[in-house]
Structure 1
Amino acid sequence: MGVVVVFAGLSHLFVTVFLHYSATFMVTPAITDVTMSALCPSMDECSIAIYLSGFQQAIIGLGTLVMMPIIGNLSDEYGRKTLLALPMILTIIPLAILAYRRTKQFFYAYYVLRILTSMLCEGSIQCLSLAYVADNIPEGRRASAFGILSGIVSIAFICGTLTARFLSTALTFQVSAAVAVVAALYMKVFLRDSIGGIDAASLRKISKKTNNVVVHLDDDSSRKIQLFSRIPSVKEILYLLRISPTFSQAAVVAFFNNLAEGGLQSCLLYFLKSRFHFSKDQFADLLLISGFAGAISQLLLMPILAPLLGEEKLLMIGLFASCTHMFLYAIAWSSWVPYVASMFSILFVFAPPSLRSIASKQVGPTEQGKAQGCLSGICSFANIISPLALTPLTALFLSKNAPFHFPGFSIMSIGISLLIAFIQSTMIRVAPPISSHKISSNSNHMEA
């Protein structure tokens, strides 16, 4: 019953997220083949494709490192829907380019525009969606709600990947662009705006009428809105990390987890193509197994386990499963091993929503965008480092010039990063929420 109530209150957000991620995930199985075909026709190993993918990911990470805290902070002032509109529209542009043609020239046009648009779009949909959920769901049920949101993303992943499995490459990009347009239109028409559980228009009126830093909402002096500067400083972000040891520990876990995730995105498909000659259809099959297992877990298991075990234990379970999953990929001796390893997604999908829930509970209701943006910025920083470190490593160990024969060496390195995240997660002890403490824009005091 609780799950049904949560879903009913957030149904338009879930539909928006589902449509957007269906469009973006639809091209994942095809983009490796498109890249290889444009840059290295008729080859299963292509260093330039690996390097370009890694460079793209690093530059996108650099952009999102700057933009995520700003977007999260602006959404606390202007509303989640207002900030969602721009990234959802920009996502359409690179998809439309490859929907039209996939020659070398059009691929490079897609490549450049994907970097530029993703510097704003990458991660912003997730950040703003999480803040929207936190606006509308009480703390006690937030982990389950975050799990359901992740489950919706997993279902979108399944539907997008399944669609790509049965469409031609050209039609895949055309359908993807069309679905992205529908997602933006649906969000614009149906999604209700929110800021910390407060009507967005009302808060904008308040912010125009006052020059004070703190505004009282009612007679209880402990309940206040903190109006931050629109562009948060590094000092403010460091202050947020300092006042909450739990948040800072979650940030460390997020960094190493995303260090692994970023490396996985830039390396895994090229590793599988080189090692086992996987193509679009095999990629789609592998991703479908992972997606089905993850969706079942997030929609059915996590709402049951979160109240029983708590976010801390679910985070540890998810990260331990992620380690095992990566080590299996690294030592895969046959083409069926990756399919077995992908089943671990039934457990490792616990980690991201648990981590976000832990972070969410450490700040007040009007600071959710700032907190999620800060965490997303840290994740983006990891996404800068990861491809720069792991892309050359992948290219080296997949080439004939490897210092020793271990094609999965870069994947093993990803597993080690996850192991560090797991060890750090065992040290997290969730402190009482600091919702009565607001982050001051001058970072010199807390309002009580």
Structure 2
Amino acid sequence: MTSTQQIRAAVRDVMPSVRADLEALVRIPSVSADPARADDVRRSAEATADLFRAEGFDDVQILTAAGGAPAVVARRPAPEGAPTVLLYAHHDVQPTGSLDDWDSDPFEPTERGARLYGRGAADDKAGIAAHLAAIRAFGDELPVGVTLLIEGEEEVGSPTLEAFLGEHRDLLAADVIVIADSGNWDIGEPALTTSLRGLVDCHVEVRTLEHAVHSGMWGGAVPDAMTATIRLLATLHDANGDVAVEGLVSGPAADVDYPLDRVRAESGLAEGVELIGTGSVVERLWTKPALAVIGMDITRTADASNTLIPSVKTKISVRLAPGDDCKRAMRHLEDHLRKHVPFGAQLTFTPGELGEPTQIDATGPAYDAARAAFKEAWDGVDPVDMGVGGSIPFIAAFRDAYPDASVLVTGVEDPDTRAHGANEGLHLAEFEKVCLAEALLLHNLASGS
């Protein structure tokens, strides 16, 4: 199969079966964060493995490392002189959150309007389906060697992926690595992700009292932990809303316009609320650090009494700009908190997750092949080189394990996908373009275009 039109027709023909297979995967509640769903995660791996066995992959295994969740590895050798491409996605999904926030059962895929809704319908079972579509379109005439790695623990931070790559390094070796776990710039506008922020988080406990005391008897002289915590947290941003932790890296971003009305619509920003920070919108989202308090343990208002609260525990999450180092950033965060804790309060700092940021030099033949494929699939629209404010820390692990491979970060999401949230949805027309682009990419890589 050499004609672009033939590839288009082949992808169009396989889309109904690919969608059916995607819907079957979505029905499996493979929530890796929930130990009670471990059997479902295993069932999801087995269903994924069966899909690629049906496509003629004789070497299909379900593997683990260091006690991690099951991952699927499937391989078909390269034709003479053709490169090998590693196609990555993950079959585990986020928890659903409150079912009251969903308009339909999160594990029963439901089409409404232009989208297919369900947990994992986009992130990232659609990544599996995109790989499946490209492979199915070529049938027995796959133009490159393909190795699939479908991970089972990405949504809990890929804790054993480095060990997995170390243990199975030769099995996964490839010339090009396609990580289908990101998104596109907008509906109708494709993108290659070339930068991702890193991540550090921590738990911080502030204590001012050995036990709660009467606020009337002691208030005014004895500090309560909540007031101390509020004052401490207020030091983490300056008056403009920029992160005020010294030592964190910031950098420039691509010259891409992100209009305020689009930010408001896509983020759900409440009426009258202003953006925080300085610089262009994409700098604030892609190449500057961002800090948020994402959890707090404190007395509920319904249970409040007239007492001074003795201790408060918070969880702080920081997204790191490309070029930063997560271990160094964690030290800077701890130093800032200890320096600014008020009233001599006791502070306990417990470091949490670490994830390195990524900056990709997206130049060379593989990136040229990808841009040509995207432009063809989107009918002449050039792809954007896009940053992502979120984190995929394991990309650094792939780059360390395979330094000579070109790493392409692609995906099926768009600004209204709502990955990780209620009513996660896959835009079906864009999904077909993603599938076509991947098929064209494999063709281009084989032909050297």
- TM-score relative to the length of structure 2: 0.25
Tell me which protein shows more helix as a share of its residues: 1
- TM-score relative to the length of structure 1: 0.25
Bigger radius of gyration among the two: 2
Tell me which protein shows more strand as a share of its residues: 2
